Amino acid sequence: MPKVSVIITSYNYGNYINKCIESCLCQCSVKKEIIVVDDHSTDNTRDILNRHYKEGHIRFVISKENMGYSACKNAGIAVSKGEYVTFIDADDILCQSSLECRVKILDENPDIDVVHGSVKILRDDSGYIRAMHQAHKLRTHPSYVNAQGVMLRRRVFEKYGLFYEPLRSKADKEYWQRIGLYKSCNKPYESIQPDPVKSKKIKNIVAFYRKHNNSMRDMRKRTPEYEAEVNRIFDERREQIKREGITRENTQWL
């Protein structure tokens, strides 16, 4: 059984996904499985995944329709087998020893459910080696909870549910709030659970978060109407969890 399930979410990231997979394969000291969930890409992503699949590098889930970011994460969790779960978008890159340093914390601290490291912003088309060489030049936000830096025990999903699929934006933030993580500036979210997870922030840089013109963040039409709708869904979801708690009816479970 793998110690860690690395779930890669992808949509039309054929130009980047090979570098992402290579950075995951470089995590040699941890027994892992790499699961790619492709959200019905229309570029050359499938060809790249087929090659890695034939070479035994990955497992993959291909969506027959565009599901959205949260549904892709949930699909990956559903087929994963690792004791710990972590996520990386297909245009991003794991740093050296990214899995090892986080696994070490969880192995040595059975009471800690979530560990998250720092993430550097990568602003060009750099590959893995160049990114490592540029690490000292790139900015990071040490107190920010970035989805690419989080590793969770499987029991977190069993207790708090999966990602909320109606949210195609802010789904990570909703989940961190649901389980009791922190947001930027080290200010805790208002507690909506009587027993939030115990988490640990580490200073290690564990991933590179790539910003580019074709990123899903930049491709979305962030009109005022779009933002208002996202905020409305987010607030309604938050109030529902505060009012009802985590139930099988209002949260997807494994």
Cα 108 to the center of its chain, rounded Å: 23
pLDDT at 149 over 60: yes
With beta carbons less than 8 A apart as the criterion, state whether 164 and 174 touch: yes
Nearest-angstrom CA–CA distance, 164 and 174: 8
- Residue 191: which region, alpha, beta or left (left: phi > 0; alpha: psi -120 to 50)? beta
- First-last CA distance in the chain: 18
Q: Does the global pTM surpass 0.85?
A: yes
* Domains within the chain, CATH numbers bracketed: 4-244 (3.90.550.10)
- Nearest CA to 147 out of 182, 119, 188 is that of 119
Q: What is the pLDDT of residue 187?
A: 47
Q: How confident is the model at residue 138 (pLDDT cuts 50, 70, 90)?
A: very low
Q: What is the pLDDT of residue 182?
A: 59
Q: What is the pLDDT of residue 213?
A: 63
pLDDT at 188 over 60: no
Q: What is the pLDDT of residue 186?
A: 45
Q: What is the pLDDT of residue 185?
A: 36
SS3 content of the chain, % helix, strand, coil (to 5): 40, 20, 40
Q: What is the pLDDT of residue 122?
A: 77
Who has greater pLDDT, 129 or 195?
195
The percentage of residues in the chain with a pLDDT greater than 70, rounded to a whole number, is: 81
Strands (E), the chain: 4-10, 32-38, 59-62, 84-89, 93-94, 114-122, 150-153, 199-210
Write the DSSP assignment of 70-127 as a string of letters: HHHHHHHHHH---SEEEEEETT-EEPTTHHHHHHHHHHH-TT--EEEEEEEEE-S---
Can you tell me the mean pLDDT for 200-212?
A: 88
3-state secondary structure of 232: helix
pLDDT at 9 over 80: yes
Q: What is the pLDDT of residue 25?
A: 96
